[in-house]
Structure 1
Amino acid sequence: MTNDPELSAPVQDLLKDVRAHFPAPITLQVDDNISGRITHDAAQQEMQKDGSMVLHVYDATDLDYTVSHELLHIEMYLKGFPAMSLPVTTGDPKVDDQISATAVSIHNSASHLVIGAEQRRMGVITNQTEQAFISGISDIVPAEPTDGTDDGHLFYRVLTLLDGLAFFADNEDHLPAEWLQMYPEAFEDAQRLYATMTAKVIDSPFAVRRAIVKTFKDFDAMLDELGYVPMPHDQFCAIAPVLSQRQLKLEFRQVYDILHSDFVNRTTKEKAFLAIGKSDRQMAFALPLKTLSQDDALKIYDRTTADVLKQFGIIYSVRN
């Protein structure tokens, strides 16, 4: 284990820049394990009790890639790219886990389009990096059954391959033929989601948020088409607001609807009140209220969006 790994000059510069802008110290901790594969769970951001962060790398196969990947996630947060939160619960931990796992995967894949483009600009992604990434999927994700049976891994394959497609964005000619051979059905479904996610250029916090929301909807439509129960990503997952100056000045009712949900707010332990975007029907945040009378709801609706966000301490970004 080391706390002072050798990194390339571009990654050192990135680390210096992120440290300069992050509100608390960031240290690196790198384990000795080298698997020869790259996966996006090879590192984790671990917040400490004193408020500092440890960027813990569990697999040192490609330090420049893995460290820059985590640092760019932090940089996206610092630049106002929308974070996702899970403020409500269905009351069933298993269902909560299923919804949150798929949501996190889709959110991350959209973010990885931005991160991967920057890593390629930095020269971090080499041929060896690509081969290690390919192995990180081919060696770990089981191939589809050849007898047509359902082994329960279809959507794990689909979302993993969606992330694989995001990794090879603008470099589709490098996609490995083995993925299509190993995962024919899942690869086709992943391509559908990728087309939805990248239908418009992803170059801003607003564009990332739009891509996530549209992919949520398409994934849930896919579940329904395949005979599975759709997941309520729109009312379970809060995607932080990215609003224009005009929207901030509008009355809250012009930007959001308040939905009295059957889900339970994790903070209040009562039925949740959700702020649902009028244009995209996606939850932006859950109101931290135990009760909400009709009169109180009308008072919220009458105020400007900016005032309501400030009252409830909601973090948001301003659209360019």
Structure 2
Amino acid sequence: MNTDPELIQPVQELLKNIREHFPAQITIQVDDQASGRISHDAAQQEMQKDGSMILHVYDQTDLNYTISHELLHLEMYLKGFPAMGLPVTTSDPHLDDQIAATGVAIYNSASHLIIGAEQRRNGIITKETEQAFIRGISDVVPAEEPNADQGDDPRFFYRVLTLLDGLAFFADHEDSLPAEWLQMYPEAFKYAQRLYATMTAKVIDSPFALRRAIVKTFRDFDAMLDELGYMPMPHDQFVALSPVLSERQTKLEFRQVFDILHTDYLNRETKEKAFLAIGKSDRQMAFALPLKELSQDAALKIYDQKAADILKQFQIGYALRN
């Protein structure tokens, strides 16, 4: 195990910058395993009881890529890019896991468009990195069975979302996409391309643009489920994406920016029925109100106050739109 890995200059500078601005000590811990493959689950941010963080790398294949990837996720957090939360439960653990897994996959792929672009600008992604990333999918994700009905294969959506992340990795470098993916996953690749086109329909260059891309991809993924004969997932009411508001919106009454939705989901914090703040413009949950009950009079009082005051009252983080 190594706690002081050798890193190239751009990654050293990124680490130094994150350590200067992150409100806790960051230690890097690297295991001895090296698979020769790159996977985005090869590292994890582990918060400690004393408030410090260990960036634990389980696979040391291309440390510069994996460590910079995790650091850039932290940098996006520090810059106010929207955070994702799962504040409610359907009371069905299996369904919760499905919605959470697909929501996280879409959120991460959109974030990886920004992270990958920064890594390429700094020369962190090399030809060797690309080959290790390709192996991380081709060697792990089972190929489709020829002539099989992919809609009946429980691994179909796993393939689709894994390939969506692969397309995000090769953004603006489509010539490097491996032909083997199209041969191994012809149906899944087609649907991954559709989601990718939705996600990248507009340039993702700001917190607002990232949030918009994620919401639109949620909608398209749920439409895809419906088309394939599956029940759509309620990403709009189950996944919270922190608000990105204009200065003007923060000064408006809460009712002009959000609707309060009474649901049958349970708030994980209060253990009671959840009250959700849904964005008026995109109909996506921004946060769950941390309240055990909410009368009509109490709701009206919230609606009457400025959006910024309610966000401050409930300690809801948000970003200001440029």
Shorter-normalised TM-score: what interval? over 0.9
Matched, 1:267 2:269: yes
The match for 2:307 is 305
- In structure 2, what is the Cα distance between the partners aligned to 1:21 and 1:188? 41
The match for 2:290 is 288
Residues 126-161 of structure 1: CA distance to partner in whole angstroms, max 9, x if unpaired?
A: 000000000000000000111314331110000000
The match for 1:75 is 75
Quote the offset at 1:282 in angstroms.
0.2
TM-score, structure 1 normalization: 0.99
The match for 2:208 is 206
Quote the offset at 1:40 in angstroms.
0.2
Structure 2 residue runs without a partner (length 5+): none
| AA in 1 matched with 2:90 | T
Q: How does 1:1-320 map to 2 (within 5 A)?
A: 1-149=1-149, 150-320=152-322
| AA in 1 matched with 2:105 | S
Quote the offset at 1:293 in angstroms.
0.6
| AA in 1 matched with 2:15 | L
- In structure 2, what is the Cα distance between the partners aligned to 1:258 and 1:91? 21
Quote the offset at 1:122 in angstroms.
0.7
Residues 161-181 of structure 1: CA distance to partner in whole angstroms, max 9, x if unpaired?
A: 000000000000100000000
- In structure 2, what is the Cα distance between the partners aligned to 1:284 and 1:71? 25
- In structure 2, what is the Cα distance between the partners aligned to 1:47 and 1:259? 33
- In structure 2, what is the Cα distance between the partners aligned to 1:42 and 1:311? 38
- In structure 1, what is the Cα distance between the partners aligned to 2:280 and 2:147? 45
| AA in 2 matched with 1:248 | T
CA contact (8 A) 1:89 1:236 kept: yes
- In structure 1, what is the Cα distance between the partners aligned to 2:166 and 2:147? 25
2:188 match: secondary structure? helix
Aligned structure 1 segments of 4 or more residues deviating by more than 3 angstroms: none
Structure 1 residue runs without a partner (length 5+): none
Quote the offset at 1:46 in angstroms.
0.3
- In structure 2, what is the Cα distance between the partners aligned to 1:78 and 1:92? 34
- In structure 2, what is the Cα distance between the partners aligned to 1:217 and 1:317? 23
TM-score, structure 2 normalization: 0.99
Alpha-carbon RMSD across the aligned residues, in angstroms, is 0.5
Residues 42-81 of structure 1: CA distance to partner in whole angstroms, max 9, x if unpaired?
A: 0000000000000000000100000000000000000000
1:298 match: secondary structure? helix
2:217 match: secondary structure? helix
- In structure 2, what is the Cα distance between the partners aligned to 1:256 and 1:166? 31
Aligned-pair identity in percent equals 79
CA contact (8 A) 1:145 1:151 kept: no
| AA in 2 matched with 1:228 | Y
| AA in 1 matched with 2:60 | A
- In structure 2, what is the Cα distance between the partners aligned to 1:252 and 1:222? 33
- In structure 2, what is the Cα distance between the partners aligned to 1:114 and 1:28? 23
- In structure 1, what is the Cα distance between the partners aligned to 2:208 and 2:147? 43
- In structure 2, what is the Cα distance between the partners aligned to 1:237 and 1:300? 22
1:263 match: secondary structure? strand
CA contact (8 A) 1:27 1:54 kept: yes
